[in-house]
Amino acid sequence: MKYFPEGLALGDYFLNRVTERDYLISRIKSNKHTILMAPRRYGKTSLVTKVAGEMNLAYCSIDLLAAYSEEYVRNQIVNKVSQLVFELFPNLDKAKSKLITIFKQMKPEISVGAFGQKLTLNLSNYPLQDITDVLLKLDETAKNFKKQAVIFLDEFQQISQLVNHNSIEASIRHAVERSENISYVFSGSDRHLLQQMFGDHSRPLYRLCQTLTLERMEKKVYIERLQKLAKAKWKKKLADAVLERIFIQTELHPFYMNVLCQIIWEENHIPAAESIDRIWHNYVIAQRQIISSDIMKLSLNQKKIIIALAASPTTEIQSTNFTAPLKISASSAQQSTAILRKNDLVYKDIDGFFRILDPAMRYFLNVIL
Ligand SMILES: Nc1ncnc2c1ncn2[C@@H]1O[C@H](COP(=O)(O)OP(=O)(O)OP(=O)(O)O)[C@@H](O)[C@H]1O
Ligand SMILES: [Mg+2]
């Protein structure tokens, strides 16, 4: 039985995020665009999917993870938009002629296939123009039927890796800033690249959006839910010490909270605090290959820093206390930490401590090696 999803958290699985939900809902209602920033597996996709579902809006998610050319980006956008249009009106028979008029330039054809209605659009030899056109036509359709829609562009930073990224970004901006009924949410797992795309004044998307940042959730968010599920599973509540071991091992990282709890909830007997440590230990060992390959990519100084931070987080990366045992200069420590933070391997917590972002990696370096 699935108690804790490794994939998207939807329905009852989705906890909290009240402020973030309210903020995103208000942005969408006023048709403003948002960039959602968080390290990997903090709940970006879950949040947007949840909000779009709650608002009962037409919604599509476009994943640009594999973007390798402007044609690919165009095709992904056109494909998703040609499905999304059908959510914008109640009855195709009445809407058909309007739809054909709006998309006229792209020689639209409407057909019924295995996956429902389908709008086929004729693509031009100018992918960038197609991107702008199809997004603007979608907005026109939404306006015509007095509907709103949300487009979620995930792993959006992949565009910045393409040779002509500036032109692609410009064609997206052109449509987004003109849109009146479509609200855009941009997100991705490389915050550094996203920050450059939206924060650098020489880039086309500069200042197009406000940023929403996701942090880890507090213990109290989880306690009620875990106790409810403990009762459902073992007819008893978990001891405080057990909860505490779960929080200590996962450091409240949303993905690891779910992974660890799912394994715990597969136990026949209600676990004791020591069992939590044993389960976590075995889980991290099983992740050895993935974690080692991340560590092997690091430079010597980055390795030194990450191992030192796994053992003891610090607020003072450049202090002699921290650097002397590592035999590196204060400036190298600073530089290496900056790269580790940029790559989301290290983060600064709210109390100013530099920590390893991934609790499994922290445990692996600290306990298993
Ligand atoms: N609000 C939430 N309540 C409970 N669990 C959550 C919540 N948000 C996310 N999770 C869990 O965290 C993990 C990551 O969620 P999700 O895939 O939405 O994150 P993401 O930031 O989009 O990840 P990626 O960077 O891989 O795209 C999943 O296990 C999901 O179930
Ligand atoms: Mg995601």
Supply the DSSP symbol for 157. Answer: G
Write down the pLDDT at residue 118.
Answer: 85
Kindly indicate the confidence band of residue 293, based on its pLDDT and cuts at 50, 70 and 90.
very high
Write down the pLDDT at residue 2.
Answer: 83
Kindly indicate the confidence band of residue 242, based on its pLDDT and cuts at 50, 70 and 90.
very high
Which pLDDT tens digit goes with each residue over 92-136? 888 888 999 999 999 999 988 777 788 999 999 999 999 999 999
Strand 210-213 to 182-187 pairing: unpaired
- The ligand minimizing its distance to the Cα of 61 is 2
Taking residue 181's Cβ as centre, other Cβ atoms within 10 Å add up to 19
* Best probe residue, ligand 1, of 4, 40, 41 (max atoms within 8 Å of C-beta): 41
Write down the pLDDT at residue 90.
Answer: 82
Measured distance CA(163)–CA(169) in Å, rounded: 12
Which pLDDT tens digit goes with each residue over 202-230? 999 999 999 999 999 999 999 999 999 99
Write down the pLDDT at residue 167.
Answer: 95
Write down the pLDDT at residue 312.
Answer: 94
Nearest CA to ligand 1 atom 23: 41
- The ligand minimizing its distance to the Cα of 260 is 1
Pocket of ligand 1 from Cβ distances under 6 Å: 5-6, 8-9, 13-17, 38, 40-46, 189, 254-255, 258
Write down the pLDDT at residue 29.
Answer: 93
User: Could you identify the atom of ligand 1 that is nearest to the CA of residue 50?
Assistant: 1
Is domain 299-368 in CATH 3.20.20.80, yes or no? no
> Which of 98-107, 192-201, 242-251, 347-356 is modeled with the greatest confidence?
242-251
- Of all residues in the chain, the percent with pLDDT exceeding 70 is 100
Residue found by looking up tokens 């499994």 in the block:
360
Measured distance CA(116)–CA(349) in Å, rounded: 47
Q: Is the pTM of this model over 0.85?
A: yes
Q: How far is the CA of 196 from the centre of ligand 1 (A)?
A: 24
User: Could you identify the atom of ligand 1 that is nearest to the CA of residue 16?
Assistant: 1
Q: How far is the CA of 159 from the centre of ligand 1 (A)?
A: 23
Residue found by looking up tokens 């599920």 in the block:
229
Q: Where are the domains of the chain?
A: 17-213, 219-286, 299-368
Write down the pLDDT at residue 92.
Answer: 81
Of 60, 59, 40, 49, residue with least CA distance to 14: 49
Measured distance CA(31)–CA(28) in Å, rounded: 5
Write down the pLDDT at residue 4.
Answer: 94
Write down the pLDDT at residue 189.
Answer: 85
Nearest CA to ligand 1 atom 19: 43
In DSSP terms, 151 is beta-bridged to 60, 184
Q: How far is the CA of 279 from the centre of ligand 1 (A)?
A: 21
Mean pLDDT of the chain: 94
Write down the pLDDT at residue 115.
Answer: 74
- Of all residues in the chain, the percent with pLDDT exceeding 90 is 90
Which pLDDT tens digit goes with each residue over 131-186? 999 999 999 999 999 999 999 999 999 999 999 999 999 999 999 999 999 999 99
Write down the pLDDT at residue 116.
Answer: 78
Map residue 85 onto helix, strand or coil.
helix
As a whole number, mean pLDDT of residues 347-360 equals 94
Measured distance CA(214)–CA(36) in Å, rounded: 8
* Best probe residue, ligand 1, of 255, 290, 357 (max atoms within 8 Å of C-beta): 255
Residues with CB under 5 A from ligand 2 (ion): 45
User: Could you identify the atom of ligand 1 that is nearest to the CA of residue 42?
Assistant: 21
Taking residue 27's Cβ as centre, other Cβ atoms within 10 Å add up to 20
Write down the pLDDT at residue 249.
Answer: 97
As a whole number, mean pLDDT of residues 36-57 equals 93
Q: How far is the CA of 49 from the centre of ligand 1 (A)?
A: 11
Q: What CATH number does the domain located at 17-213 have?
A: 3.40.50.300
Kindly indicate the confidence band of residue 191, based on its pLDDT and cuts at 50, 70 and 90.
confident
Burial of residue 68, with CB atoms counted within 10 A of its CB: 0-12 exposed, 13-18 middle, 19 or more buried = exposed
For helices 219-234 and 254-264, give the axis angle rounded to 10 degrees: 20
* Best probe residue, ligand 1, of 42, 215, 226 (max atoms within 8 Å of C-beta): 42
Nearest CA to ligand 1 atom 26: 41
Write down the pLDDT at residue 276.
Answer: 97
Q: How far is the CA of 185 from the centre of ligand 2 (A)?
A: 12
Q: How far is the CA of 175 from the centre of ligand 1 (A)?
A: 29
